[in-house]
Amino acid sequence: MLSLQMLSAGANPRKGRWPLAPALAGLAGIAVATSAAPLSAQTFEVEEATIAGVHAAMASGELTCEGLVRHYLNRIATLSSRPPRLNAIANVNPHALSEARQLDSVFVAEGPREPLHCIPVLLKDQVETTDMPTTYGSVLFKDFFPRRDATIVTRLKDAGAIILAKTNMGEFASRYVGSGFGVIRNPYDRTRNPSGSSGGTGVGIAVNLGMVGIGEDTGGSIRGPAAVHALVGLRPTLELVSRFGMMPANPTTDTMGPMTRTVTDAAIVLDAIAGYDLRDPVTARAVGRVPDSYTGELQPDALAGARIGVIRQPMDRRVGTTMEGFGQVRARVDDAVAEMRALGAEVIDLFTVRGVTEINEIFSLNSFETEEATDAYLAEHRNAPYQTLAAILLTGQVNPWRARGMADLLGKTTRDPGYLEYLLARDRIRVNVLKTMADQDLDALVYATFDHPPTEIAEDVEHNPQPRDRYGLGDNRLISPLTGFPAITVPAGFTPDGLPVGIEFMGRPFTEAMLLGYAFAFEQATGHRRPPEGQPGIARGNPAATGGV
């Protein structure tokens, strides 16, 4: 069996030295054509599979890369026939099987190619790929093929991964519905929302349509879908992972990171994507701050002696402490605190942090970055169907709720006086958090990702600009992007209704290795990850993998 050290060897050449691969051009269509020649029996079970497990199965001859990819494509095809559709997948890579065969050849000749050899990745459709459309969840971009791959895509491929599919997302990176592929549904309860806007990635990894996923997080879009799907979701320090090739929302809080079923897999993915990229200058701050491997602190006793501050006060003013949902989540947080103490952590209850109830309001002040950033991004793509945010909205085809929100962004710039107000308020929160951690000698903060389970999807969410769905109720995610600090959500159990609850560990900048260690120790001791019930097994035919699964 391949060891974790073997899988991680060479996993961090990301210090500005890897060139970007040339863009692939001339591709058309998204249908996947499977080969007619039958494979030898593939007995490997992909449900809840891990990177180490896949590589061990390949080393033993139990599994081929082509067989693995076929398993996932068959599963995608099977799930697409189950109403109501989850709508997790936007488009499937038409070259996935041919890429798998190439990796099989490499494996036979040389052994595994880098630490992500043949690992099928689900990629949020906010990120550019040349071999699949990049839609941003919108029908307006359904046929848009960028002429470049995003840096994160190149780095994943260089590490041996296969971009298996692009995932559905909230239109232009907000919520869980868009004009491109409709409503994304939570597989733990299909009447409930899957959080957003990386909802498709969260659903896809939860129901095993891919092995690992990439989400984007402006205000919580990695950690929200991860929390409500019993996944691990890591929002890295803002300057750690390149955003080049990703449509921006608010550049001072936008980032990307892994969404996985295990902490170990998240660490291995982070090894591949972290580090300086000259095409995203903010990542220059990461130089000298990236460890040899983020797997180095994955120890079962990592929480022993750690000083953890628990934020008890809700950050979302909409949630009441007498709500039934709040009580259900609080019970799981109390259990998690007890479990951390049993693991040797010193847990300090922080019943209040100065300014914590203002965090969500302060974050909402930033309506000044989006139009400038979007227009500048679209100007880089001469073949894009629309060149400005205003032109997109004038089509009248954007989801009504999203169009209403985007309209409020028009005409605002970072030169407006209100932007200074936002920046000053953001700095006050950052100082307050750092002061609390210094005064209490804390290594990390812990809080529920949401203080309330996900709410039901409104029947009119695709048509009403003001649907009454109480989306994001109990949201505590914004403390991380507002400060720029890294945070990782990890499964903490389930409500009596079977809905996942996630807790977050947040630390100072560039403490990802430490946070992964804490999350690993908690995960290994508790084993709270559980896939949704009633999902299909593997279909054994030739799938016609199409959009909108």
User: Across the strands, what pairs with 235?
Assistant: 487
Question: For residues 170 and 111, what is the distance between their CA atoms, to the nearest angstrom?
Answer: 39
DSSP 22: P
Question: For residues 391 and 178, what is the distance between their CA atoms, to the nearest angstrom?
Answer: 17
Task: Spell out the residues 6+ positions from residue 255 whose beta carbon is closer than 8 angstroms to its own.
Answer: 216, 217, 218, 235, 236, 237, 238, 240, 241, 243, 481
DSSP 123: E
Question: For residues 448 and 262, what is the distance between their CA atoms, to the nearest angstrom?
Answer: 18
Question: Is 417:472 a contact under the CB 8 Å cutoff?
Answer: no
Using the structure block, give the residue that is written with the tokens 């499977």. Answer: 34
User: Across the strands, what pairs with 214?
Assistant: 123, 258
DSSP string, 498-543: S-EEEEEEE-STT-HHHHHHHHHHHHHHH----PPTT------S--
Q: Which amino acid is at 499?
A: L
Question: For residues 149 and 35, what is the distance between their CA atoms, to the nearest angstrom?
Answer: 26
Two tokens at 145?
Answer: 């093929």
Radius of gyration of the chain (CA): 22
Q: What per-residue string of b and e applies to 195-214 under the rule 16 or more CB within 10 Å gives b?
A: bbbbbbbbbbbbbbbbbbbb
Catalytic residue list: 124, 197, 221
Task: Spell out the residues 6+ positions from residue 156 whose beta carbon is closer than 8 angstroms to its own.
Answer: 116, 121, 163, 214, 269, 272, 273
Two tokens at 459?
Answer: 């029947």
